[in-house]
Structure 1
Amino acid sequence: MKRLLDVVLALAALALLAPVLAAVALAVALESGRPVLFRQKRVGLGGREFGMVKFRSMVPNAAAIGPYFTSDNDPRITRVGRFIRRTSLDELPQLFNVLAGDMSLVGPRPDVPAQRSLYSDEQWAERCSVRPGITGLAQAKLRSSATPQERLALDLRYAREHSLWLDLRILGWTLGRLSGKGAN
């Protein structure tokens, strides 16, 4: 049932948001050229790696300049990038990851492989027991202000307690928080 809901909602969102996707792609291209999309290796269900796609919000060679994470006032983030991160528009291409089955609308945010070292073996297995999501309990509750410990606790709580009802609540909370402060 969850997979069917993911596909139906992702298709509906892509159809509804097509003009927004086109406008963001154009803004990124006009400000800093191509590529418009950024693909990053992430870890999904069962520990399988996949390429998560986002609108590029940083300079084209950002990975060569700094780490996989960003901080406030990171000089690699473009002007358009700051806006699309604050509004979470940079995440919209992940709807294609949902259609491909790599992600769900709701689940723990997918980690980069380097983050594996932050978990015990048991925690990693539990975290990888569910499909990662565009939004999750940590994002819905704390947005980008979550500490690594809070994020871990909420991700593991989701892995243990996930249900269709919890997913619907998380989607509602996320939509309510989108008007607030976005990611770095």
Structure 2
Amino acid sequence: AFSNEAGVGSAAIAHAAARTEYPVREGIVALLEPFIDTVVICTMTALVIIITGAWQPEAGAEYAKLIETRNGAALTSLAMDSQISGFKYVLAVAVVLFAFSTMISWSYYGERCWAFLFGDRASMSYRMIFLVFTFLGSILSSENVLNFGDLMIFGMAIPNILGVVLLSGIVKRDLNDYWRKLKSGEFDLNAS
């Protein structure tokens, strides 16, 4: 699975709902998400796995099986629990909350796109399709679900990256205008 949604365009749907006087400022805020998610969180997780030695197959048969199947959440849980007894339960709750919030986010993203393509009256059909896929995701193997999710995210990235390239001139112009106004003090820094 991808560690973040950079280049996919899904985060833009959530950021478009923000009320801001300066859209460029919202775009700058959006740049922090992949950095925090990938650079900070993934690096810290990798360091925990490396420092605890959980990545070494000789650390034990239980660890070796997790490495072989690439079960990252369980490997992280064992690595954390080896240092802080009972932390695997905290991590399990965090994973459940993350999964639930991810389902809510993607439900919103998909419904907004569906409404754009087919109109607001078609939202109920999207919700039914989403429920069917949610059920299928709960009974299929995690490998199949992750592979399908990766394929769909890759599929979304292609038209979005094309759009980013085609609109880059407009974005550059707006960003330069924002920096110029910021440096000259033309707008209130405390405005949203």
TM-score, shorter chain, exceeding 0.5: no
User: TM-score with structure 2 length normalisation?
Assistant: 0.28
Which has the higher Rg, Structure 1 or Structure 2?
2
Bigger strand share: 1
User: TM-score with structure 1 length normalisation?
Assistant: 0.29
Larger RCO (CA under 8 A, 6+ residues apart):
2
Bigger helix share: 2
